[in-house]
Amino acid sequence: RTVLLLNGPNLNLLGERDPAQYGTTTLADIERRVRGLGAELGAAVRCEQSNHEGVLVDLVHEARGYDGIVLNPGAFAHYSIALRDAIDAVDTPCVEVHISNVYAREEFRHTSVTAPVAAGYVAGCGVFGYELALRAVLHRAAEAEA
Ligand code: DQA
């Protein structure tokens, strides 16, 4: 199995960015953990991060034929129709992750335009949410086969 772990804008700064909201784990640590869990569960995890909307769209397209996408769209969740349409256009199931509990924060974070086309949604579980999302997307792939 193959899964794309995709992180959007500003998530390259995890570890130093607003630790009260996002903790001190770096993106490299998250990628290592998710890759490790993937190895345990029999999945190869490709890890990508971009600050650019179009690059994220391209990467979602590249995940056609993969078993799943674990996506933290960052702020693009709140307004990128292009990213929403990309997720909608591919058959690959996508589980959206937010490290923070976006519903406990500013009102503009309460809307996700990507969530309605995602297969699942995890928020407020900290960086552990990435592992939950990987498990969920692989569970779904296994069920789809059964
Ligand atoms: C975030 C929440 C978004 O509102 C914010 O713009 C981010 C990070 C999260 O993981 O909690 O960049 O997606």
The residue whose CB lies within 8 Å of the most ligand 1 atoms, and thus the one to mutate among 12, 49, 100, is: 100
Instruction: Locate 54 and state its tokens.
Output: 């179009």
What pLDDT, in 10s, does the model give residues 80-101? 999 999 999 999 999 999 999 9
98-106: long-range contacts (C-beta < 8 A, 24 or more apart)? Answer: 98/72, 98/122, 98/123, 98/124, 98/129, 99/14, 99/21, 99/22, 99/23, 99/72, 99/125, 99/126, 99/127, 99/129, 100/21, 100/22, 100/124, 102/77, 105/21
Sequence-distant (≥ 6) Cβ neighbours of residue 32 within 8 angstroms: none
pLDDT, mean of residues 4-17? 97
What pLDDT, in 10s, does the model give residues 32-59? 999 999 999 999 999 999 999 999 999 9
What local confidence, expressed as pLDDT, does residue 17 receive? 92
Residue-range domain boundaries for the chain: 51-125
**pTM of the predicted structure, to 2 decimals:** 0.97
DSSP state at residue 79: T
Instruction: Give me the amino acid identity at 15.
Output: G
| Catalytic residue, candidates 22, 66, 121, 130 | 22
What local confidence, expressed as pLDDT, does residue 146 receive? 86
| Catalytic residue, candidates 61, 79, 98, 110 | 98
Q: Is ipTM strictly over 0.90?
A: yes
Give the homologous superfamily in CATH for domain 51-125.
Dehydroquinase, class II (3.40.50.9100)
Question: Is 98 labeled as catalytic in the residue annotation?
Answer: yes
What local confidence, expressed as pLDDT, does residue 8 receive? 98
Per the prediction, the chain carries an average pLDDT of 97
What is the rounded CA–CA span in Å between residue 1 and residue 64? 13
The residue whose CB lies within 8 Å of the most ligand 1 atoms, and thus the one to mutate among 52, 76, 109, is: 109
What local confidence, expressed as pLDDT, does residue 97 receive? 98
Residue numbers belonging to the annotated binding site: 72, 78, 85, 99-100, 109
pLDDT, mean of residues 52-79? 98
What local confidence, expressed as pLDDT, does residue 37 receive? 98
- Cβ atoms 14, 31 nearer than 8 A: no
